[in-house]
Chains A and B, each alone.
Chain A
Amino acid sequence: MAARDRHGLEAPWGEFRHIGKATPKVDGLAKATGAAVYTDDLTLPGMLHGKTLRSPHPHARILSVDTSEARRLPGVLGVLTGKDLPVRYGIIPWTQDETALAVDKVRFVGDPVCAVAALDEDTANAAVRLIRVEYELLHPYLDPFEALKRHDPAIHEDRKEGNISKRVELSFGDVDAGLAEADAVVEGDFYFHGTTHGAIEPHCALARYGADGVLTLWSSTQITHYVHRALARVLGMPPHRIRVVQPCLGGAFGGKSDPFSLEFCVARLAMLTGRPVKMLYTREEVFYAHRGRHPMHLHYRTGARRDGTLTAVDAKILIDGGAYSSYGLVTTYYAGQLLTGPTHLPSYRFDSTRVFTNKPPCGPKRGHGSVQPRFAFEVQLDQLAEKLGLDPIELRRRNVLPPGSPTVNGQRVTSNGFLECLRRVEDASGWRLRRGRLPRGKGLGVAGSMYISGTNYPIYPNGMPQSGIQLKVDRSGLVTAFSGGNDIGQGTNTIVQSLVAEELGLALDQVRVVAADTDLCPVDLGAYSSRGTFMIGNAVLDACRNLRGRLIDAVAERWKCDPRRVLFMDGAVLDREDPSRTMTSVEAIQHAEERFDTLGSTGSYNTPKLGGDYRGGTIGASPAYSFTAHVVEVEVDEETGRITCTRAWIAHDCGKALNPLLVAGQIEGSAYMGLAEALLEDHSVNRFGLHQGPSLLDYRMPTAVDTPELLALIVESLDPEGPYGAKEAGEGPLHPSIPALANAVHDAVGVRLCHLPFTPGKVLKALRELRAREAPERLVVGKG
């Protein structure tokens, strides 16, 4: 790590003026008044509308495609098939197995086959229906266990490992000895069902191809930079002739972090027709485009000594990847690599396999790859506490990673506020007085977790910064920050504004942010892996510190004083030793421009060298880790089997809360999403490969009435490398929601729920089994 990537924790001008305050968002009023412009809000003169023909079969070979009738339909200006966009792409450079439109095979119901551009949406839809595709049906793999066992026909025929997308086996310490020396071992199977992001804005892209040969793509993406690269690759164009812009984005949660078919199709159609082309996915298409949380079959063994200290964890995980690789290589690692804190594992082994199936492709969703294993593990910690007669919070306390020590898989952990998180939820929930003592049917459960603040290495190997910022300083006193970061609602642009204002001693309205436009902004790798605040934040501090000296020196020269006396604050400049001497920051900027020429600066952030010294040891390495603890309160109706989550206390260690309003929003939003995955949401397909309810009514996202009271508690551990000590808050707080809820159900009615989602039917079945175990004679009802 370069020295300039560490900026210290101190307020630059004595005390924080903006940081740590609940400041409204930079774009809040624009959004509240309807002025904010999202991709589908854009209309260009002469614009055409695109539509996609999708596969009705989960697995089939394409024998022929006849588009002649569609092409003859008046109002249709362009039709594409797989042959028009044959170049493969994929977010991970080593597993590029997607094409914008199917070339020879379709691999899931919904796989894009053809695209059309027409004068209006109705004509485009009509044209899609006129395309004739002849398929040879192939055996569909809808069960990951079957896909693991056989691969004739293989889903991806050119792969050596059959239907296996990725396998990772890693072992740290002596797991067998650890299990042998344990006083208690719990072993069990867990199932995570698969869920999707459900951002309210459907995917949308608009392309324009100018006579100058420049292609501009506006897209609802959270990875402008990777889309830029993918477009250049697939279109065979030099990247400098491509501009990618992310307008205001209506939610993503990982669901817009792959390049998607529509981005390539509108680009090619715009080039083909010479007119702008827009495509907006229907809600049903969004469900099939998916990239949501992987279904996982998890088998865990966890051992502990009598005093509750763990000895070993042994995990075997089968991951149902769906039809394409997407981020699956990383998912397969994360499923194992991210479990190694906050609980110290003296020995740990995981065997994680991702298989292809003929289902909508899975990918990263908030808490990528690690939410499912966390569920299994945190339930087992609860089982161990029960077996050993320990309080589950106390058991977690006894196993917390010692300060300064690396995890068992070699990851460096800097700041760690987990103990404080536990203390906060324990106090706030009244745990000591209430847990185990509530009336039957009511219960409390706890769980904890750790998550990355960005990944240590970029998705494609390179030595360039992960995040860049450029500042432009105007004579009006306005500083414009050009940020490559993708603000997807989490507030990255607001953080940039606050940090610039803080570092340069300006008022907030003297800073504006231009973001996520590859022509205007330096590269940031995108909104994924909770990297924004940490990496963009550090780049902002770097850029500001490259500029600040010039502003100070210009004032000091004018005042003929020691530069150390110059103080910038909220847009005013003060002399620390002579209160009568002041100027405005506007004057200071003008002096600096006279003295030093046109003002601006750049800044960047790159990660230090981190990670374990083994193959895959860098996956899961992060410059800082966040920590979370939940206590969840439930009521279980034993007659109907219905679980109601009534309250959740969520304590999250975000390092330093740069803006507590935003941090609280991330904590609450994470917990809401996790609890919904436990109780309501289910992204599964039936035996025909069809989604069982691809609508926002059938996919049961909670309303304001269904959502429990969410109590966000902020813990600040001040990370030595984060900007002013900040770490992530966007994904970590989701992890404990599901196991804490499962553990609360056990506290309430004594059943262990291990198969998600926790539907009333499963609760009733578990209750019946529990009663049978407790009083087996009552089961004997039949006559001899």
Chain B
Amino acid sequence: MSLGRFCATIRGVLLHVNGDDHEVSAPDHWTLLEVLRYRLGLTGSKQGCDKGDCGACTVLLDGRPVISCLVLALEAVGHQVTTIEGLLPAHLAQGGSGADPLQVAFDRCGALQCGFCQSGMILSARALLKRNARPSETEVREALAGNLCRCTGYTQIVQAVALAVAEATGGALPPRAWEQPPEGA
């Protein structure tokens, strides 16, 4: 690591990320997002604004969604960090196959257009489903209100969460507007 003169104190910290322990050295003022992206190479968490407005950097800290550009790396010491990269291996480790059901639902519902907001969006949804297995549409929208998406208009994202819920609870997804035959057809 090469640094210029204006870099602050470099400190080694121990982070628990996706079940692994990482010893990382980074400037004191670096955020968790910066350490994840530029030290650990976990680039699935995105930076959209670097000031807590967009939610693209959302990760889970002990299972709760946090905006990782507003959390110093030092503050994450002693906590379990889950990033988007952690979901698939965790799902496999629990005996599942393929990606996490929420990730699959986002894919199947077309919720991923540019995909830039989705790691944060999926982790916010993951945290919601952990505390509420059958959320209403309003509850889904409220839980995702800290994650801006510019592509979808949120419709297919809300449908994706509904699909994941339906698949987990045996419910059915109502047909989407464009799937219904036109009246008089």
Q: Complex: how many Å from CA A703 to CA B108? A: 22
- A56 contacts B by Cβ under 8 Å: no
Provided the pairs A251-B151, A428-B183, A713-B177 are in contact, do residues A661 and B141 lie with their beta carbons within 8 angstroms? no
Give which listed residue, A33, A124, A660, contacts B87 with CB less than 8 A: A33
Provided the pairs A75-B5, A202-B48, A712-B178 are in contact, do residues A36 and B115 lie with their beta carbons within 8 angstroms? yes
- CB-CB contacts below 8 Å: A7-55 with B: 22, 24-25, 27-38, 40-41, 43, 46
Give which listed residue, A38, A119, A713, contacts B4 with CB less than 8 A: A119
- A406 contacts B by Cβ under 8 Å: no
- A668 contacts B by Cβ under 8 Å: yes
Q: Complex: how many Å from CA A695 to CA B48? A: 10
- B113 contacts A by Cβ under 8 Å: yes
* Complex contacts, B154 vs chain A, CB 8 Å: 672, 703-704, 707
Q: Complex: how many Å from CA A41 to CA B152? A: 23
Q: B73-81, B117-125, B165-173: which lies at the A interface?
A: B117-125
Contact A253 B110 (CB under 8 A): no
Provided the pairs A33-B99, A119-B3 are in contact, do residues A713 and B114 lie with their beta carbons within 8 angstroms? no
- A705 contacts B by Cβ under 8 Å: yes
Chain B minimum-CB-distance residue to A703 = B145
Contact A200 B99 (CB under 8 A): no
Cβ proximity bits A198-209 to B, threshold 8 Å, 1 near / 0 not: 111110000000
Give which listed residue, B27, B42, B104, contacts A32 with CB less than 8 A: B104
- B56 contacts A by Cβ under 8 Å: yes
* Complex contacts, A641 vs chain B, CB 8 Å: none
Give A199 Cβ to nearest chain B Cβ, in Å.
6
* Complex contacts, A489 vs chain B, CB 8 Å: 113-116, 151
Give which listed residue, A40, A126, A200, A709, contacts B148 with CB less than 8 A: A200
Chain B minimum-CB-distance residue to A77 = B4
Give which listed residue, B3, B47, B104, B151, contacts A120 with CB less than 8 A: B3
- CB-CB contacts below 8 Å: A660-717 with B: 660-665, 667-673, 695-697, 701, 703-705, 707, 709-714
Contact B114 A249 (CB under 8 A): yes
Contact A33 B49 (CB under 8 A): no
* Complex contacts, B94 vs chain A, CB 8 Å: none
Give which listed residue, B43, B53, B107, B148, contacts A25 with CB less than 8 A: B107
Cβ proximity bits A640-675 to B, threshold 8 Å, 1 near / 0 not: 000000000100000000001111110111111100
Q: Complex: how many Å from CA A28 to CA B115? A: 8
Which among B38, B42, B104, B148 has the highest number of chain A CB atoms within 10 Å?
Answer: B148
* Complex contacts, B157 vs chain A, CB 8 Å: 704
- B22 contacts A by Cβ under 8 Å: no
Provided the pairs A122-B6, A199-B150, A669-B113 are in contact, do residues A705 and B155 lie with their beta carbons within 8 angstroms? no
Which among A28, A283, A711 has the highest number of chain B CB atoms within 10 Å?
Answer: A28
* Complex contacts, A672 vs chain B, CB 8 Å: 152-154
Cβ proximity bits B31-43 to A, threshold 8 Å, 1 near / 0 not: 0000001100111
- B93 contacts A by Cβ under 8 Å: no
- A250 contacts B by Cβ under 8 Å: yes
Provided the pairs A24-B107, A665-B110 are in contact, do residues A251 and B119 lie with their beta carbons within 8 angstroms? no
Cβ proximity bits A167-191 to B, threshold 8 Å, 1 near / 0 not: 0000000000000000000000000
* Complex contacts, A713 vs chain B, CB 8 Å: 177-178, 182
Chain B minimum-CB-distance residue to A46 = B2
Contact A282 B7 (CB under 8 A): no
Contact B3 A75 (CB under 8 A): yes
| Interface residue total, chain B, C-beta cutoff 8 A | 71
Q: Complex: how many Å from CA A397 to CA B44? A: 49
- A439 contacts B by Cβ under 8 Å: no
Q: Complex: how many Å from CA A490 to CA B115? A: 10
Contact B7 A34 (CB under 8 A): no
- A784 contacts B by Cβ under 8 Å: no
Give B185 Cβ to nearest chain A Cβ, in Å.
10
Contact A665 B151 (CB under 8 A): yes
Contact B37 A41 (CB under 8 A): yes
Chain A minimum-CB-distance residue to B88 = A33
Which among B3, B38, B153, B183 has the highest number of chain A CB atoms within 10 Å?
Answer: B153
Contact A27 B115 (CB under 8 A): yes
Contact B116 A123 (CB under 8 A): no
Give which listed residue, A22, A27, A31, A123, contacts B3 with CB less than 8 A: A123
* Complex contacts, A32 vs chain B, CB 8 Å: 84, 99, 103-104, 106-107, 112, 115, 118, 122
Provided the pairs A32-B118, A283-B51, A710-B155 are in contact, do residues A427 and B178 lie with their beta carbons within 8 angstroms? no
Give which listed residue, A200, A423, A664, A704, contacts B150 with CB less than 8 A: A200
* Complex contacts, A38 vs chain B, CB 8 Å: 43, 46, 116
* Complex contacts, A499 vs chain B, CB 8 Å: none
Contact B3 A29 (CB under 8 A): no
Give B134 Cβ to nearest chain A Cβ, in Å.
18
Give A649 Cβ to nearest chain B Cβ, in Å.
8
Contact A37 B43 (CB under 8 A): yes
Q: Complex: how many Å from CA A709 to CA B158? A: 11
- A488 contacts B by Cβ under 8 Å: yes
Contact A75 B108 (CB under 8 A): no
Q: Complex: how many Å from CA A119 to CA B38? A: 14
Contact A123 B7 (CB under 8 A): yes
- A289 contacts B by Cβ under 8 Å: no
Contact A665 B6 (CB under 8 A): no
Contact B112 A28 (CB under 8 A): yes
- A118 contacts B by Cβ under 8 Å: yes
Provided the pairs A41-B43, A665-B110 are in contact, do residues A251 and B116 lie with their beta carbons within 8 angstroms? yes
- A59 contacts B by Cβ under 8 Å: no
Cβ proximity bits A227-252 to B, threshold 8 Å, 1 near / 0 not: 00000000000000000000011111
Provided the pairs A200-B149, A696-B148 are in contact, do residues A123 and B6 lie with their beta carbons within 8 angstroms? yes
* Complex contacts, A321 vs chain B, CB 8 Å: none
Q: 6 closest A-B pairs (Cβ-Cβ)?
A: A34-B44, A75-B4, A123-B4, A489-B114, A31-B115, A672-B153
A-B contact pairs, 8 of them (CB 8 A): A28-B107, A33-B103, A75-B2, A123-B5, A200-B114, A200-B150, A696-B53, A704-B158
Which residues does B use to contact A, with CB under 8 Å? Answer: 2-8, 27, 37-38, 41-51, 53-54, 56, 83-85, 87-88, 99, 103-104, 106-110, 112-119, 122, 140-142, 144-158, 176-179, 182-184
Other than the known A664-B178, A669-B153, A701-B148, what 14 A-B pairs have Cβ atoms closer than 8 Å?
A25-B107, A46-B2, A120-B2, A123-B6, A198-B150, A199-B116, A199-B150, A283-B49, A664-B155, A668-B152, A695-B49, A696-B53, A703-B146, A714-B178
